[in-house]
Amino acid sequence: MENEYGLIGYKLSHSFSQKYFTEKFRTDGIENSVYHLFELDSIYEFPALLQAHPNLKGLNVTIPYKEAIIPFLDELEPATARIGAVNVIKFDNGRLIGHNSDYQGFMQSLQHFYPCFPLSQALVLGTGGAAKAVIAALEYLNISYKVVSREKKPGHLTYEELTAGFMSSVSLIINATPVGTFPKEDEAPAIPYHLLSSHHYLYDLVYNPAETLFMKRGKEMGAKTINGYEMLCLQAEVAWQIWQS
């Protein structure tokens, strides 16, 4: 009987995970294991999914269910509880334990890309589950940050508030929104790109397309850029370690 793993989310046809884990099973000689894509129109379909797949050993969670999945779980790993978003579910003797490998994958990748110097200031675009994981990593690395949202919220900036003076004080800008993802690759977060320079580092969690419009426009102004592919690979390996622990 096969061990089943999978990804739950909405609109998964362009998912990275199935290809990654299928290849991992093959190259690492992991037998009797399969990775599925489970598209859910609503998070309330989750219990029926569990009943239909009794051999599930682990799940990944993606947009838009990283926060909505929490009430369906038995427990959250402590760091995940602080983050408030789940992207990995471990099946542990009938209990569902929520974990977050996004923040570890992002943190490892960021350390390869960005010189985390003292008094670094970051700008996090977005307020969803991915942004929460990014913020957890920044706090661990002692990088100060501001969050930008489309609507005015307490403690957050709006895109209209990104002045020339503020943009010059920021060195790292992280797109933690899905804006620019295929098939809407002609879109980009509404930051003032004309205020960017070689002083800036742009990290886009989007990985499809490989170079987003956010990255292209930043590169045109001399900024250094990276997409989310390395983060995805790193967080996937962390997820596998969680499932096997």
| Rounded-to-integer distance, Cα 242 and Cα 44, Å | 25
Show Cβ contacts of residue 96 under 8 Å, excluding neighbours closer than 6 positions: 72, 73, 74, 75, 89, 90
The residues that are catalytic are 66
Give the pair of three-digit tokens for residue 100.
């977050």
- Measuring CA to CA, how many Å separate 211 from each of 18, 100, 145, 205, 206? 22, 26, 24, 11, 9
DSSP H helical segments within 28-77, as ranges? 46-52
